[in-house]
């Protein structure tokens, strides 16, 4: 049976939102015990306590140096953009009331004989009602020693996206009618959020099997794309038979 590999993004975001509540309670004297940071996390703070950055990076094999470089550049850009928000008018006054934070958990989600898939699960709080989720992914071609995008796997990327969109809409529209836990969305939001040719299928992980092959792709939609923030990120699985005819010849043996 194929195995889905996605990180619990909304748990992390909800936890950060809970931290906002904990901070408010601390002001009234009800202070919870401090959280214990993992030894594999790099925690940074600065500007008189205005912000905190918690970064967790994966251990990668030496032969995946191009993947490490891509991740390092990505993390550096996220840090730079986050720190730049403190230069906005009134930003530092806001951060003194409730410190801002950037949380990035970058981890290997799955491996096969051809790919290493890495997911980014994080959030950025720069004031407002709740943190902004950060959802991203990297897929590394072990044989070619480079990071590949979803489009680079297919001879006709637009046709592949149409196949993804059809399956995503089917699953999400079905979830709207779930009698026990209907999806907090509507048909219009789902249609707009799954439309092809709009960079909607950039973030994905691999459905893997015991044969070390890819049996399908899991596409991850961040909050607001196809459902409400409260519904969290949505993930849909597309089996390889839905797109295998569109794969480039050099990648067909990597899929089942």
pLDDT digits (tens, 9 = 90+) for 181-219: 999 999 999 999 999 988 999 999 999 999 999 999 999
Angle (nearest 5°) at CA 219 between 217 and 224: 175
Q: How confident is the model at residue 46 (pLDDT cuts 50, 70, 90)?
A: confident
- Both 136 and 162 in one domain: the answer is no
Beta strands (DSSP E) in 114-221 are 115-125, 132-141, 146-148, 204-208, 214-221
- Both 17 and 134 in one domain: the answer is yes
- In degrees and rounded to multiples of 5, residue 141 shows phi and psi of -85, 105
- Both 194 and 111 in one domain: the answer is no
Inter-residue contact 247 to 256 (CB < 8 Å):
no
- Both 101 and 86 in one domain: the answer is yes
Question: Rounded mean pLDDT of the chain?
Answer: 87
- Both 158 and 185 in one domain: the answer is yes
Residue at a domain's end among 97, 116, 148: 148
- 3-class DSSP state for residue 153? helix
Q: Which two tokens stand for residue 238?
A: 């597309």
Pairing assessment for the beta strands 204-208 and 132-141 based on DSSP bridges: unpaired
Domain of 230: which CATH number?
3.90.640.20
- Both 143 and 164 in one domain: the answer is no
- CA atoms in the 13 A half-sphere facing the CB of 137: 28
Q: How far apart are CA 43 and CA 38, in angstroms?
A: 10
- 3-class DSSP state for residue 137? strand
- Both 125 and 79 in one domain: the answer is yes
Whether 2 is in a domain gets the answer no
* Count of domains forming the chain: 2
State yes or no: pLDDT of 31 exceeds 50: no
pLDDT of residue 41: 67
Residue at a domain's end among 100, 124, 148: 148
Domain of 63: which CATH number?
3.30.565.40
- Both 111 and 180 in one domain: the answer is no
Q: How far apart are CA 237 and CA 167, in angstroms?
A: 8
Mean pLDDT of 9-15: 41
pLDDT of residue 3: 60
Domain of residue 57: give its range: 9-148
pLDDT of residue 33: 30
State yes or no: pLDDT of 7 exceeds 80: no
Residue at a domain's end among 107, 127, 148: 148
- 3-class DSSP state for residue 23? helix
State yes or no: pLDDT of 21 exceeds 80: no
How many angstroms separate the Cα of 84 from the Cα of each of 166, 173, 214? 39, 39, 40
- Both 21 and 127 in one domain: the answer is yes
Tens of pLDDT, residues 111-144: 999 999 999 999 999 998 899 999 999 999 999 9
Residues in contact with 111: Cβ distance below 8 Å, sequence separation at least 6, in sequence order? 117, 208
- Both 171 and 208 in one domain: the answer is yes
Q: How confident is the model at residue 157 (pLDDT cuts 50, 70, 90)?
A: very high
- Both 143 and 208 in one domain: the answer is no
Tens of pLDDT, residues 59-101: 999 999 999 999 999 999 999 999 999 999 999 999 999 999 9
Q: Which two tokens stand for residue 76?
A: 């550096």
């Amino acid at each position: 049976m194929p195995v889905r590999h996605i990180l619990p993004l909304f748990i992390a975001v909800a936890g950060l939102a809970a931290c906002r509540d904990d901070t408010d309670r601390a002001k009234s004297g009800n202070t919870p015990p401090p959280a214990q940071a993992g030894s594999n996390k790099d925690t940074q703070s600065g500007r008189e306590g205005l912000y905190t950055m918690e970064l967790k990076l994966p251990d990668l094999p030496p032969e995946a140096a191009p993947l490490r470089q891509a991740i390092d550049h990505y993390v550096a850009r996220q840090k730079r953009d986050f720190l730049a928000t403190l230069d906005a008018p009134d930003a530092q006054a806001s951060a003194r009331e409730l410190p801002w934070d950037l949380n990035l958990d970058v981890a290997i989600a799955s491996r096969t004989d051809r790919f290493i898939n890495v997911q980014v699960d994080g959030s950025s709080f720069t004031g407002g009602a709740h943190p902004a989720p950060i959802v991203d992914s990297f897929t590394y071609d072990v044989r070619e020693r480079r990071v590949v995008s979803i489009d680079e796997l297919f001879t006709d990327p637009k046709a592949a996206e149409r196949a993804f969109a059809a399956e995503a809409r089917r699953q999400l529209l079905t979830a709207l009618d779930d009698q026990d836990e209907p999806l907090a969305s509507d048909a219009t939001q789902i249609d707009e959020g799954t439309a092809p040719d709009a960079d909607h299928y950039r973030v994905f992980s691999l459905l893997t099997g015991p044969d070390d092959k890819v049996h399908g792709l899991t596409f991850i939609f961040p909050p607001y794309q196809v459902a409400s923030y409260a519904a969290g990120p949505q993930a849909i699985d597309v089996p390889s038979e839905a797109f295998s005819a569109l794969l480039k010849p050099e990648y067909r043996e990597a899929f089942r």
